[in-house]
Structure 1
Amino acid sequence: MGYVLGIVAIVMCVPITAIITDYKRKIMKFKADMVREEIELEKLKQQNFIMETEKMKLELEQMKLDYQSGKNEVYKV
């Protein structure tokens, strides 16, 4: 009788192990997807920062040009 219970216990461990392994595999896949999305978000943030920096440089150049042209007009008067 003890052998039968031992065999049943071993047979029941196989599906439980498969369920746990499948669960862990799904969790790892989910975490990997989250990391990929975070990396993509960081890339977008960096691109946005670069674009904003370039825009501010252009605006600064425009302000310098406007200031210099205004300075020249004062001398002409």
Structure 2
Amino acid sequence: MVMLYVLGIVAVVMCVPITAIITDHKQKAIKFKADIVRQEIELEKLKQQNFIIETEKMKLELEQMKLDYSSGAKELIKID
């Protein structure tokens, strides 16, 4: 009976560090996942900014092409 009591105490005492180790591991895993999510959000923000910049660049190029075309058309009309 005493042996069973001692064994129970040892089991309880051993559960505390094991629980602490498991809890610490889960907390680190959650922090790691949160960091990954933050990095993915930052990447998406950069992608969005890049898309906006590229779109503006294409608008400017299109406007430049329109100006070049319209000035070229005027020159052709004047030549005739």
Q: TM-score normalised to the size of structure 1?
A: 0.99
Segments ≥4 residues shifted beyond 6 Å? none
1:4 — aligned with what?
A: 6
Please give the per-residue CA displacement for 1:5-53, whole angstroms capped at 9, x wherever unaligned.
0000000000000000000000000000000000000000000000000
What CA RMSD, in Å, does the superposition of the two structures yield over aligned residues? 0.3
Of the three residues 51, 55, 58, the one matched with 1:56 is: 58
Q: Which runs of 5 or more structure 2 residues have no equivalent in the other structure?
A: none
Number of equivalences: 77
Please give the TM-score of this superposition, normalised by the length of structure 2.
0.95
Cα distance in structure 2, aligned partners of 1:41 and 1:75: 51
